[in-house]
């Protein structure tokens, strides 16, 4: 548990114990006002239960020379341009925000008018996501799922050497709270001679973290691991919804396709690298496993490549919601234990062939399942492929998701000497298929 006291903000709700958004966090998001029929999008920072509207801050007569250009970029309502700036600019702007919001700030009377209740805004995708890559970074998930399809050879020989990933579909990434329609697709049962087309019957979630790229790299110019943090802007929660029956039929020989790209949900706030720094941990590979090749290994990655992020999945069925029953927890895990590869390694490997990344590109970690069976990050694992349905507290059972189910992912960071920060939540409700 965190044993450090927040530096404090004059925004009272930011000082509540276990708040996701104390002044030590200050994540970025894109929002519009519920009472604004034009739907104009603005960039904001979460502080307690409020949003600091940076377009209003930009109009105040308090700009420092080292943040003026950053604020002018943000005020245009497009976060990508700010993300593309050097990390030094991000750090300077964070210092500026803390100066505005800390207890005793001389700017309180001016800045107070720039706050909006989170209840009065609609959250959108935090930035423009042009490209999306999904990795397969949990060895526990890869091994468990591999056993279901290849009992004699669950983990393919390249897994421990190379971060496995595939190019996803950016256009179907949606913000938390967006309902997800059950997909339809082609599948084939083991006893069927021919495939058939129907609504997905094995709909699943995948608990992941999303990694946002800040400053990009030039095509043909790899990012060395020592420089990976210069291109890392921040993280969000990611749910890569999966149609397991469609996936099983289509994924060979080229991997995921329609079973994955019908929807992926993300939490609306990007928790920045600077906010995550107090939660860095040492990273090391099991001595029995092959060590990373030199391009994926350096001293800094070993000393502080991992992050202490606690993860949780909750489910609320339609019946639970109708009866006023709160969502029930399905599992908890920790990012640092679940991930076989670090954020820096994923960024470095992605660009190792010269691939260019751009500001706002999203990298998914893949399903983050921990070492214990109860720490599995998908229903496919928790229900043993549907053979052992989960019994919920109200007596309902789930092997896979049903229409009306709401799936909620949460994440937060805690460490000795650091103030707890959170990511908010990533949620979505399943709607019936159209067929």
Active site residue 141: yes
Cα-Cα-Cα-Cα torsion 136, 214, 234, 350, nearest 10 degrees, comes to: 10
Catalytic member of 107, 124, 141, 231: 141
Single out the residue of 83, 21, 95 nearest to residue 52, CA to CA: 21
- Residue 399: which residues within 8 A CB-CB, separation 6 or more? 202, 379, 383, 386, 387, 388, 389, 390
CB distance 411 to 332 below 8 Å:
no
Q: 102-107 long-range contacts, Cβ below 8 Å, gap at least 24?
A: 102/7, 102/8, 102/9, 102/10, 102/23, 103/7, 103/8, 103/9, 103/10, 104/10, 105/10, 107/60, 107/62
Which residue is listed with tokens 């250009």?
Answer: 69
Which residue(s) pair with 271 in the sheet?
235
CB distance 207 to 239 below 8 Å:
yes
CB distance 13 to 49 below 8 Å:
yes
CB distance 409 to 426 below 8 Å:
yes
Report the catalytic residues: 141
């Amino acid at each position: 548990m965190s044993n450090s006291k927040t530096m404090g903000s004059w925004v009272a709700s930011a000082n509540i114990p276990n708040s996701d958004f104390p002044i030590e966090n200050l994540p970025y998001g894109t929002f519009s006002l519920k009472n604004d029929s034009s739907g104009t999008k603005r960039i904001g920072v979460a502080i307690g239960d409020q949003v600091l509207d940076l377009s209003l801050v930009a109009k105040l007569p308090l700009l420092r020379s080292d943040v003026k250009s950053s604020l002018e970029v943000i005020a245009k309502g497009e976060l990508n341009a700010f993300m593309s700036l050097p990390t030094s600019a991000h750090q300077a702007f964070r210092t500026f925000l803390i100066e505005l919001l800390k207890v005793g700030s001389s700017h309180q009377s001016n800045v107070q008018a720039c706050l909006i209740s989170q209840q009065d805004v609609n959250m959108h995708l935090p930035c423009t996501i042009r490209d999306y890559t999904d990795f397969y970074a949990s060895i526990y998930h890869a091994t468990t799922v591999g056993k279901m399809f290849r009992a004699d050879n669950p983990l393919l020989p390249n897994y421990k050497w190379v971060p496995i990933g595939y190019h996803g579909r950016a256009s179907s990434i949606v913000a938390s709270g967006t309902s997800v329609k059950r997909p339809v697709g082609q599948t084939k049962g083991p006893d069927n001679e021919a495939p058939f087309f129907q609504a997905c019957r094995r709909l699943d979630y995948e608990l992941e973290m999303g990694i946002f790229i800040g400053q990009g790299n030039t095509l043909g110019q790899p990012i060395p691991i020592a420089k990976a943090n210069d291109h890392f802007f921040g993280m969000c929660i990611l749910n890569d919804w999966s149609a397991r029956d469609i996936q099983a039929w289509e994924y060979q020989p080229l991997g995921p396709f329609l079973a994955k790209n019908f929807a992926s949900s993300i939490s609306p706030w990007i928790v920045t690298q600077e906010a995550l720094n107090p939660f860095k941990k040492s990273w090391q590979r099991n001595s029995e496993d092959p060590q990373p090749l030199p391009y994926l290994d350096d001293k800094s990655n070993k000393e502080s490549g991992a992050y202490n992020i606690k993860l949780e999945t909750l489910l609320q069925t339609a019946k639970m919601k109708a009866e006023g029953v709160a969502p029930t927890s399905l599992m908890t895990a920790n990012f640092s234990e679940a991930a076989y590869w670090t954020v820096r390694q994923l960024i470095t490997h992605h660009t190792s062939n010269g691939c260019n990344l751009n500001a706002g590109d999203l990298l998914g970690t893949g399903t983050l399942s921990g070492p214990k069976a109860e720490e599995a990050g998908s229903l496919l694992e928790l229900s043993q492929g549907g053979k052992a349905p989960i019994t919920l507290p109200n007596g309902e059972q789930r092997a896979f998701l049903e229409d009306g189910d709401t799936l909620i992912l949460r994440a937060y960071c805690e460490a000795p000497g650091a103030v707890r920060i959170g990511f908010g939540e990533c949620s979505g409700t399943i709607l019936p298929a159209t067929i």
